[in-house]
Structure 1
């Protein structure tokens, strides 16, 4: 695959920047305050995820998130949508998400230096200005939303744009590699050491999971319930190519700016990890 740039330092720094921002953004999927806000609207706790992440598309049915989220069993989408829109509109879900994340970020980030926060937000917004929507449906939907006024929530929103842009590119690579949703999960679970979490949350049966593992065994990527040497190299290659496809925003910001994002976001990442909100495996994911 052709690099968008020959600058290996920018690739490395961009991955570190994404990783720090990602840790802050995903608080929204685990924080009790966010789930409580959705329940107050009438959404079901476990299924609120599907309404929250797809609300940027409008009142869609299950087909859109089945396509764009990729790795969840279709029956989960069908249980959540369009039923969730009978309880709350997409705009109401979006507002509840932002309001509750304001509470979460105030608690987790605490007395963060406001000057540094403003600098970080400005840098990440500059990176977001370099992101392009073609072929990036989840990114495009979220990029169409108004920016929050609260700087903490605005940083969370910016991190979400970076996340969804990168994720859209990753799904394109999964398709190119002929990995179906369950096979992708099996590989990722073994690579990131979070298989129990994925099996508990993605909705596939044990039989579907076992069948996918056997297909990966036939491809030489898995053996004895673990990644083979070829499987590790294959999965690392997917990550490298995902980083390259996600590079355009960071190239727009430049290497110095991207390094400054890493520097400024690192303490926020640590506060998110120390908050107790995130699953334990997030602290030891393989880079």
Structure 2
């Protein structure tokens, strides 16, 4: 099946946003501030637009991380650095990573035009009922085009992600069940998700048993027809909710943004700056849509 416009643009823009999670510059910078470990760096930097919030709110908004995993990082992270410091830190880290990338031209015409288009798309992205998107949209825009592009992709990504959480809630999938069904649908394995989300064997088993009782999963961990249908409905709803902003953005600008960012994201993935097999379950599709 052909991806929807919303899904296609998510795949194209995600690698540029994801630089912040995988660039060594981010971890180096947060280590210098005193934060302990990669996960504290991740939770603090991603949650920083929300302010110095507690672990309960971060767990609720991020959705599929085990509460104890979040609680090991938040609120302790705020004792090492304020959210304002971390907002500056993550921008500086992205700046360093992009400038160091082979062949990078942060001030070049393609980046400038992509930044202009992406900012407009981000300003149209829905934020109602989307806390992470709203918090990022409230931040001041940086001056440099490559940082404008990064902030725009972040707003767009979090708007889609907040909508995805809404779709999971509406489908009656708990945080752990969201991972179980995604894994069964061909996403990262149970072992990868347990390592990076920290749900125990007992919790994973309990989530699976409830899905089996609902007729969504077999005893062998395979999605039933009903399970496949439910999982597909989550993805379709996610796309439909994200499409609200892209519809206002328009076909011509969406096609141009895709054309400009696709080679940048492709180069990022080819260089391994963002690994193709990652715990965010983000996958890169280098095949351009018809007409590109």
Q: Output the TM-score relative to the length of structure 2.
A: 0.89
Equivalent position of 2:71 in the other structure: 78
Q: Output the TM-score relative to the length of structure 1.
A: 0.90
Report deviation, 1:193: 2.5
Matched, 1:155 2:149: yes
Equivalent position of 2:20 in the other structure: 28
Q: How many residues align?
A: 279
CA distance in 1 between counterparts of 2:116 and 2:283 reads: 28
Matched, 1:177 2:171: yes
Does the CA-based 8 Å contact 1:108-1:271 persist in structure 2? no
Give the structure, 1 or 2, with the largest relative contact order (CA under 8 Å, sep 6 or more).
Answer: 1
Does the CA-based 8 Å contact 2:98-2:104 persist in structure 1? no
Equivalent position of 2:208 in the other structure: 213
Equivalent position of 2:85 in the other structure: 92
For 2:4, what is the secondary structure of its paired residue? helix
For 1:210, what is the secondary structure of its paired residue? helix
Equivalent position of 1:4 in the other structure: none
Kindly report the root-mean-square deviation, in angstroms, between the aligned alpha carbons of the 2 structures: 2.2
After TM superposition, the structure 1 = structure 2 runs for residues 101-112 of structure 1, keeping only pairs within 5 Å, are 101-108=94-101, 110-112=103-105
Assess, with a 3 A threshold, how the Cα gap between structure 1 residues 184 and 82 changes in structure 2: closer, same or farther.
Answer: same
Structure 1: 5+ residue runs without aligned partners?
Answer: 1-8
After TM superposition, the structure 1 = structure 2 runs for residues 45-56 of structure 1, keeping only pairs within 5 Å, are 45=37, 46-56=39-49
Matched, 1:37 2:29: yes
Matched, 1:201 2:193: no
Matched, 1:120 2:106: no
For 1:37, what is the secondary structure of its paired residue? helix
For 1:75, what is the secondary structure of its paired residue? helix
CA distance in 2 between counterparts of 1:108 and 1:229 reads: 45
Equivalent position of 2:129 in the other structure: 135
Matched, 1:13 2:5: yes
Matched, 1:225 2:226: no
Does the CA-based 8 Å contact 2:276-2:284 persist in structure 1? no
